[in-house]
Structure 1
């Protein structure tokens, strides 16, 4: 069994934001899982678990049993929920896949990686800290664009942090949403090939 975790922030105000791309990907996995999961787009097959502070769903992906999770801890504290899930399901770190936004990858691209440092992503750093290892898989969905480049070139550190923070919490444009659907489809095909 594999544990696939999509990172994002809970609440309607964060839906379709760059930071919530992990949620969007695990929702798509559930949607594609077959006829018995046809209502996944309405979120009916994710059940909130107080024990994990996450929405959970069990299904199959690429013929393999998986547990999907959407932590409700907010991105920067994702490690709290991931650690509880790992312990409960007795998962080895290498059987965990974390899906998240990545500011170092251009929008329209993605990367699979294993045993890498956080790259400054606070949610990933939280997971590394709570699991005490970086030996888990990551599906990194690129969100960088020209607006981010502008945000990163602010004169003061405070202005830079605020601008980058506003960028990750900004919503995808309708054009970007259409492109994102294609990226997610390609990323899931790659994930299916990569799962042992």
Structure 2
């Protein structure tokens, strides 16, 4: 079984904010496949589907970003997933808007959702898809920026990149993570 986890904050207040690009990638993936998050357990909404012979778990933690690991770890334990069987999709201030980067491991880089995931899993060696949101062009607190919506001039590149990130997730359903990194890292 492979598991794709999109990080974000639940509720309409956070829809389409920079911090929710992980959720947006999951939504695009679900839309393409005709799937819905029809299960709820361990503070997460998820579905288990099948692509060929591979079972695929698609998940959104409902804990709010800073506690994401509290939903990820118990669901991984319940389904007996190994660390290499997951990919975590999240926003990254250090990449330009719309740029994606796949990595097999890394630190949290100040991202509290990844910090929580590292703390709960006890390792930073898990596959991830970082989705660039850039840094604010004017001085502002980081929380205000990440909880803000994309600017109108960013929307086209963000939509294209959400589609590209969903392409990478679909590729991982059938290929190794190394192959997907080689194919999709920009």
Tell me, yes or no, whether TM beats 0.5: yes
2:6 alignment counterpart: 6
Select the residue among 37, 58, 68 that pairs with 1:46.
37
What is the CA deviation profile of residues 37-67 of structure 1, one whole-angstrom value per residue up to 9, with x for unaligned ones?
A: 2xx5xxxx21351x31111112346874211
Correspondences of 1:1-196 after superposition (within 5 Å): 1-33=1-33, 37=34, 45-49=36-40, 51-60=41-50, 64-145=54-135, 148-151=136-139, 163-194=141-172, 195-196=175-176
* Superposed displacement of residue 106, structure 1: 0.4
Could you tell me which residue of structure 2 aligns to residue 157 of structure 1? none
Instruction: Give yes or no for contact 1:78–1:126 (8 Å, CA) kept in 2.
Output: yes
TM-score, scaled relative to structure 2: 0.86
Output the TM-score relative to the length of structure 1.
0.82
Which consecutive segments of 4 or more residues in structure 1 shift more than 6 A? none
Is the contact made by 2:39 and 2:47 (CA closer than 8 Å) also made in structure 1? no
Give me the whole-angstrom Cα distance separating, in 1, the residues matched to 2:137 and 2:155.
Answer: 20
Aligned Cα RMSD in Å? 1.9
Contact (CA 8 Å) 1:18, 1:170: kept in 2 or not?
yes
| Contact 1:7 1:70 (8 Å CA) reproduced | yes
SS of corresponding position for 1:172: coil
Structure number, greater radius of gyration: 1
Q: Contact 2:26 / 2:166 at 8 angstroms: preserved in 1?
A: no
**How big is each residue's C-alpha offset from its partner over 1:94-122, in whole Å with a ceiling of 9 and x where there is no partner?**
11100000000000211001111111111
Say if 1:21 and 1:101, in contact at 8 Å, map to a contact too: yes
CA separation of 1:62 and 1:23: change in aligned 2, threshold 3 A: farther
Distance 1:16 1:177, change over 3 A: same
Tell me the residue number matched to 1:156: none
Unaligned residue ranges in structure 2 (runs of 5+): 177-186
Question: How many corresponding residue pairs?
Answer: 174
C-alpha distance in 1, partners of 2:50/2:25? 15
